[in-house]
Amino acid sequence: MKRHFLLLIAFSIFHAVTINAAPDEGMWLPMLVKRLNAEDMAKHGCKLTAEEIYQVNQAALKDAIVSLEFCTAEIVSANGLMLTNHHCAYSAIQENSAVDHNYLDDGFWAKSFSEELKIPGQTASILVRMEDVTSQVLKDIDEKTIDADRSKMVGDAIKEIAKKASEEGKYKAVVKDMFNGNEYYLFIYETFKDVRLVGAPPQSIGKFGGDTDNWMWPRHTGDFSLMRIYADKDNKPAAYAEDNVPYKAKHVIPVSMKGYKEGDFAMIMGFPGRTNRYITSPAMELQMQYINPTQIKLFGKKLETWKKDMNLDTKVRIQYSSKHASLANSWKYYIGQNEGLERLGVIAQRKTEEEAFTAWAKSAESNKKYAEVLSEYNKIVAGYKDVISQLLYLSLAGKSTEAASLVKYLNNVKAELIKKTVDKKALDETIIEAKKAAEDFYKDYNMQTDFNVVNEMMLLYLNDIPLAKLPPSIAKIANGKGKTNQEKINKWATKLFAKSIFVSQDKFNKWLEKPNAASLDKDPLVVYINELNLFSKASLTPIQQKYSSETDQLKRIYLEGLMKFKKDNKFYPDANSTERLTYGNVKAYHPRDAVNFNYYTTTEGILQKYSKEKTSDFYVPERLIELIKQKDFGPYAENGELKVAFLTNNDITGGNSGSPVMNDKGELIGIAFDGNWEAMTGDLVYDPELKRTICVDIRYVLFIMDKYAGATNLVNELKLSK
């Protein structure tokens, strides 16, 4: 469920709390479980106490839940071994792969600690505690505080609270707003900077079904991998060092061999990234009619262009595999979301709810603060439609060259060069930073592929945005020499790629040997990117900032009013990459007439989907096929069959990828890895009949580790509960 959040954040227009919570809906804060959820969880079948899930001074379940920033992992051994999804470790596997040791295709299994692979830049954060700091953040703010002052006061208070809580860098402290700025919570983490790759199946197993099966059920994907946290000799976070040792975990999640049946309790803990459950109908229309179609079109073209080159060259395929997988996931998500919004009639339903809210707001003098909030919000959204398209095209098409990501590093070098008194130490540090960024970048960069992408994306830009609304630098291309837009773009791009130092590692490093500010200013890519940034800063950014400021204020007031309107409801805050708990049950579903999906799949489905063609989404190694045909499942089968994946009605979203799926005793029964196609509107509206979480069965994970890979050393680390 990896998801691109860049655009959702940059053009955030949503609210984040459901209006009417369904029985299994909710991404709940662990510290509030005792007050809000314990009784209901027990009714669902949970046997854990609230203290066993979350407490500060004693080990609890929360101590085994790990944020990987973009995904979730869980600690499953006393030596800091973590399980997460294959797609969460995909970039780490790819970065450690080459043509002569292709871990993507062949898999990777460390037989000892010494064989585990470094993952540069990867961190693992474990929650120490959370705290409601609303009164501290809003202590000097009242109804008369104007919005600009409020933003500054809130920002200053958050910085002060986080700085104090970090204990001079000992912890990572973050203050997050909840309920659109009506409440604020402090989250304190221990963040480990030495994380290593331990094991991963071949991508034919870890991604079985590929783009074809993505977001679909039934599913037969072994979407798992293993990482390990390392610490210093005192078990504290430390930068990567060879003498670091495996982290000694405070809590380890036992692995259940007992399985599950339909109706069994299921609980997931993790770090969901972003939900927008309280989106207004005009904002939903903006998403459906403008944002999603643009992203679908532009992402689709980039994916198509990448795929052509990947199919022609193994090296390019390895270089672009992670980038392609991530973008393809988002592209398909937006397609599904639009289909779901239309199919379920969500917008019409939301308009009815808004009418009821407005009627309530106008019904009493005490509510008049909220009477016009929706009307004002709707006007602002309506005026933003044309601008959003320009922003998206400029960001995704105008800046489509990958090489542009390196410009900032040489600008940093230039900034040191042009100082009246050059600080040699500071200059050397920026050069080292640039060299490191270049090393990472060019490893997964192909100039011809980048050139092809620029040609295709710029053609869409020129064809779709009227000439009068193009940035001057883009309009110049449109007015250039050539009979067609394609010819004009090709001439421009050919000149750009021939002369810019950024598309060549040799040229880039040669400039760093003798950095020169004047030559950098003349680089065609620098000139082009600077012109786009100037245009955006002068023409689009002010509109965007005004829009964000006005809507943020209205969203806060609206949600404040909604919680008064629905005062008997239990509200949970929107997902914002903080630790949450969701509970429900193992459950099948009935998506449409005459279609009934079972709640689990087995290895028989792998045989039915299997293709011998290695480029197929449904290819798996022959060894796996033989094991399945021989039913050589070891102790991991149930009644003669090996389950691969199963469904729950847990409420999750992107960021929950890799989250542990646990039974009533807090034992691991699976790993969450996806949602289902019929509920792609789940980030906006929870549908209890259709929304499902797709999980890989932990026994299939063990089967692959043990019977397929022979990684018994890793299986033996686990605490198996029979």
The 3-state secondary structure of 616-650, one letter per residue: CCCCCCHHHHHHHHCCCCHHHCECCECEEEEEECC
Q: Cα dist. 9→276, 302, 514, 548, 678 in Å?
A: 11, 21, 39, 11, 24
| Catalytic status, residue 204 | no
Nearest to 48 by CA among 667, 648, 669: 667
Catalytic-role residue among 223, 683, 697, 706: 223
Catalytic-role residue among 194, 657, 674, 683: 657
Q: Which two tokens stand for residue 363?
A: 């019904």
Residues 502, 500: Cα–Cα separation, whole Å: 5
Residues 86, 225: Cα–Cα separation, whole Å: 5
**Contact (Cβ atoms closer than 8 angstroms) between residue 579 and residue 269:** yes
| Catalytic status, residue 657 | yes
Distance of CA 83 to the CA centre of its chain: 17
Residues 291, 268: Cα–Cα separation, whole Å: 31
CB atoms closer than 10 angstroms to residue 182: 18
* Parallel/antiparallel/unpaired status of strands 255-256 and 720-721: parallel
| Catalytic status, residue 101 | no
- What would you report as the CA-atom Rg of the chain, rounded to the nearest whole angstrom? 26
Residue with tokens 């540090």: 429
**Contact (Cβ atoms closer than 8 angstroms) between residue 488 and residue 482:** yes
Nearest to 96 by CA among 443, 570, 412: 443
Q: Which two tokens stand for residue 220?
A: 């037969």
Angle (deg, nearest 10), helices 385-393 and 541-565: 120
Residues 411, 618: Cα–Cα separation, whole Å: 46
Residues 85, 63: Cα–Cα separation, whole Å: 19
Nearest to 604 by CA among 647, 646, 648, 643: 643
**Contact (Cβ atoms closer than 8 angstroms) between residue 12 and residue 555:** no
Beta strands in 555-692 (DSSP E): 580-585, 589-592, 595-597, 600-602, 643-648, 660-662, 668-675
Q: Which two tokens stand for residue 540?
A: 């689009």
Q: Buried b vs exposed e over 681-690: b needs ≥16 C-beta within 10 Å?
A: bbbbbbbbeb
Catalytic-role residue among 15, 87, 220, 251: 87
Q: What are phi and psi of 178, to 5 degrees?
A: -125, 155
User: Positive or negative, the Cα torsion across 272, 681, 371, 549?
Assistant: positive
Q: What is the DSSP string of 70-125?
A: SSEEEE-STT-EEEE-TTTSHHHHHHT-BTTB-HHHH-EE-SSGGGPEE-TT--EE
Residues noted as catalytic: 87, 223, 657
